[in-house]
Structure 1
Amino acid sequence: MAIRVLVVDDSSFFRRRVSEILEQDPLLTVVDTAANGQEAVEKARSVRPDVITMDIEMPVMNGIAAVRAIMQATPTPVLMFSSLTHEGAQATLDALDAGAMDFLPKRFEDIARSKEEAILQLQQRVKAIARRRAVVPPRVSASPGRPLSALAGERSRPLHTAAPTTPAPAVPGLERRSLPRRSGKSYQLLAIGTSTGGPVALQKVLTLLPANFPHPIVLIQHMPGTFTTAFAARLDGLCQIRVKEAQDGDQLRPGHAYLAPGGKQMMFEGRPGAARLRIIEGNDKVNYKPCVDITFASAAKTYGGKVLAVVLTGMGADGREGARLLKDQGASVWAQDEESCVVYGMPQAVAKAGIATESLPLPLIGEAIINEMGH
């Protein structure tokens, strides 16, 4: 049966363009359109689509407020369309906090090298998130010193007052799951790779780590260059550890996380304990910029087996070959389990190849990392 999509945008041209692209796939059908967030909320209730594509900047009610209202009334997977600007990045991160599952740039040429590739990416993203159950974010109440603005007309929250609002999907039997037994291995680096669903997953994991976490952390999230600066700043405001967008020459320090900049590749040079980051321009022959495989492979060369690598939710198989190299050196490799992923692609690739030693639900991963590495 075809996946039923509601297309929301205040531009009639863009609504028509997105609808035409989606209708090219026999597995997708556009059941209705809406011109603003209020219409989207009403039609989500009446039409009951499987997926909603949503603009951010709209009259009457913007996309962030609409996502929040939809998640409370009729939870539905939402794909946001965003501008590749700093303001667009902040707004998109707010939409993901509100419950949206994924995002794409409104300028399709920014995500692909050809028109055909861009069309395929949009169709694949819609189909991928349609398979997952939307999750209702809890309501966030103001805390002393951290006021929250009224939600109805809110465009975006200031960076350092954001709060993690979207939990991982409910995991059946989680209350019966126990942490993996500590391996006793010696570590010098935590490396985490992710894509679709990653911003919320990373937030969930990193906010659990203590300020005195004893090792440096590297983060590889598939994300445009204009987004990684804002995302690193947001994580830094939420976490006890320090988080920054990685820069060429950064010396790796315990309790600090370094987010690979979008559009570039992150590697290591030097020796463990005194290693520095190398940030290089992305090669057009590599599909992902940043690429998990490249960073993991470089970690294997520099740190050998003294790495815990974690592969979180995401489309595709990026990270599998880098994780294989790490495991060959004696490193530990964990994957997020299927039930808690937005898209079980990257973790599945690692698990099916027999590389992952643990397959863990998202709510347990942060605590499991502390248990394994925090001694």
Structure 2
Amino acid sequence: MVVDDSAVVRQVLAALLNEAPGIEVLHAVADPLLAIERLRVQWPDVIVLDVEMPRMDGITFLRKIMSERPTPVVICSTLTAKGAQTTAEALAAGAVSIVTKPKLGLKQFLQDASDDLVAAVRAAAKANVKRLVQREPAQAPPAKLTADAVIAPGGRAMAQTTERVVAIGTSTGGTQALEEVLTSLSRVSPGIVIVQHMPEKFTAAFAARLDSLCEIEVREARHNDRVVPGRALIAPGGRHMLLRRSGAQYHVEVVEGPLVNRHRPSVDVLFRSVAKSAGANALGIIMTGMGDDGAAGLLEMRQAGAHTLAQDERSCVVYGMPKEAVKRGGVERSVPLQGIGAEIMRQMAMG
């Protein structure tokens, strides 16, 4: 089902999705109230939803859907500062992923981005949305770069320091999972660095929302921010984040660079930098998400002496990234989402 007040969007989206093998558009309607009428007749597997619409906004409709019958929802929203905050709320309400659209040249954009849209719908159809009551790779570029494109392998961290660092990587379903983990932490938690696959301009609003809910400080990372107990830094969308150590202090570098594992920020880039700068003084955690970003980096962390965890399959929205990390041998233990906060606090006690 496509729900959007723009006739152009409904027409183009319906045509593009109907052309994709295995996808059929049951309904394309102008607002949530019309959608509710159609849902009484036939319920779709995936809903593509705008946010700002007449009669009922998309977030209210999303919450209604998730409370009545959890269904994979892809947000198709205009990328503005206001929209970033709105979309962060939508992710918190249970949306699986985001496809951004411009205000101008909309029809041409949708046609150019057809592969991304189809990939987003296919990924949503596989999501375990019952775990929700976030941006997946679309059409792959010709080459899939590794963390080597941003940070060289090798190098050893100090054997032991007084401060511990927690590195978390996640993707689809991660917005809700991170909220559950971070809201469970006290102010004496270790410093945390996070990569959540998310488009540029959305991470600031996401971090601000978490900061309002958590006892710890949560913010979008800035270049040279210190990593200190009681603070979580989220990599900005569109840039990589690396951990560095200078003397007795940890800080982050926020850098440009190519897509790694088709993502920027990349979990592998963060995890490799943590392996090099923190080594055995770190805890690596890979959580819900599609693909394999982070699997190689988590193995490097484990080989450097860090403790490593994966979110277990039962509690994941998409058991892709954790599964691949387990397969490659980078995971010491798999734990349910509800237990990750306690593991982080245990890491602090080890310091």
TM range (shorter): 0.7 to 0.9
Residue of structure 1 in register with 2:296 after alignment: 321
Are the structure 2 counterparts of residues 314 and 133 from structure 1 closer, same or farther at C-alpha, using a change threshold of 3 Å?
closer
Choose from 220, 228, 233 the match for 2:195.
220
Q: Distance in 1 between matches of 2:103 and 2:18?
A: 17
Q: Distance in 1 between matches of 2:128 and 2:250?
A: 41
* Mapping for residues 181-196 of structure 1, pairs under 5 Å: 188-196=164-172
The farther-off stretch of 75-84 and 277-286 is: 277-286
Residue of structure 1 in register with 2:31 after alignment: 36
Residue of structure 2 in register with 1:141 after alignment: none
Q: Is the 8 A contact 1:44 1:74 kept in 2?
A: no
Residue of structure 1 in register with 2:154 after alignment: none
Taking structure 2 as the reference length, what is the TM-score of the superposition? 0.84
Q: Is the 8 A contact 1:37 1:65 kept in 2?
A: no
Q: Is the 8 A contact 1:268 1:302 kept in 2?
A: yes
Q: Distance in 1 between matches of 2:341 and 2:118?
A: 33
Deviation at 1:71, TM superposition (A): 2.0
Residue of structure 1 in register with 2:266 after alignment: 291
* Mapping for residues 87-126 of structure 1, pairs under 5 Å: 87-107=82-102, 118-126=113-121
Are the structure 2 counterparts of residues 289 and 116 from structure 1 closer, same or farther at C-alpha, using a change threshold of 3 Å?
farther
Are the structure 2 counterparts of residues 275 and 186 from structure 1 closer, same or farther at C-alpha, using a change threshold of 3 Å?
closer
Percent identical pairs in the alignment equals 42
Deviations 1:334-364 (A, max 9, x none): 1112222222221111112121111222222
Deviation at 1:95, TM superposition (A): 1.6
Choose from 243, 252, 255 the match for 1:280.
255
Q: Is the 8 A contact 1:313 1:336 kept in 2?
A: yes
Q: Is the 8 A contact 2:12 2:110 kept in 1?
A: no
Residue of structure 1 in register with 2:186 after alignment: 210
The answer to whether residue 6 in structure 2 is matched with residue 11 in structure 1 is yes
RMSD of aligned Cα (Å): 2.5
Are the structure 2 counterparts of residues 91 and 290 from structure 1 closer, same or farther at C-alpha, using a change threshold of 3 Å?
same
Deviations 1:288-346 (A, max 9, x none): 11111111111111111221111111121110111121111111221112222222221
Q: Distance in 1 between matches of 2:91 and 2:56?
A: 17
Residue of structure 2 in register with 1:340 after alignment: 315
Q: Is the 8 A contact 1:313 1:342 kept in 2?
A: yes
Residue of structure 1 in register with 2:71 after alignment: 76
Q: Distance in 2 between matches of 1:266 and 1:27?
A: 38
Q: Distance in 1 between matches of 2:2 and 2:164?
A: 47
Are the structure 2 counterparts of residues 272 and 77 from structure 1 closer, same or farther at C-alpha, using a change threshold of 3 Å?
farther
Residue of structure 1 in register with 2:177 after alignment: 201
Name the count of aligned residue pairs.
320
Residue of structure 2 in register with 1:147 after alignment: none
Deviation at 1:97, TM superposition (A): 2.5
Deviation at 1:205, TM superposition (A): 0.5
Taking structure 1 as the reference length, what is the TM-score of the superposition? 0.79
Residue of structure 1 in register with 2:48 after alignment: 53
> Helix, strand or coil for the counterpart of 2:313?
coil
Deviation at 1:126, TM superposition (A): 1.6
Deviation at 1:255, TM superposition (A): 1.1
Which ranges of structure 1 fall in alignment gaps of 5 or more residues? 1-5, 137-165, 168-184
Q: Distance in 2 between matches of 1:116 and 1:301?
A: 43
The answer to whether residue 251 in structure 2 is matched with residue 251 in structure 1 is no
Deviation at 1:78, TM superposition (A): 1.0
Are the structure 2 counterparts of residues 201 and 117 from structure 1 closer, same or farther at C-alpha, using a change threshold of 3 Å?
farther
Are the structure 2 counterparts of residues 33 and 223 from structure 1 closer, same or farther at C-alpha, using a change threshold of 3 Å?
same
Are the structure 2 counterparts of residues 33 and 272 from structure 1 closer, same or farther at C-alpha, using a change threshold of 3 Å?
farther
Q: Is the 8 A contact 2:279 2:306 kept in 1?
A: yes
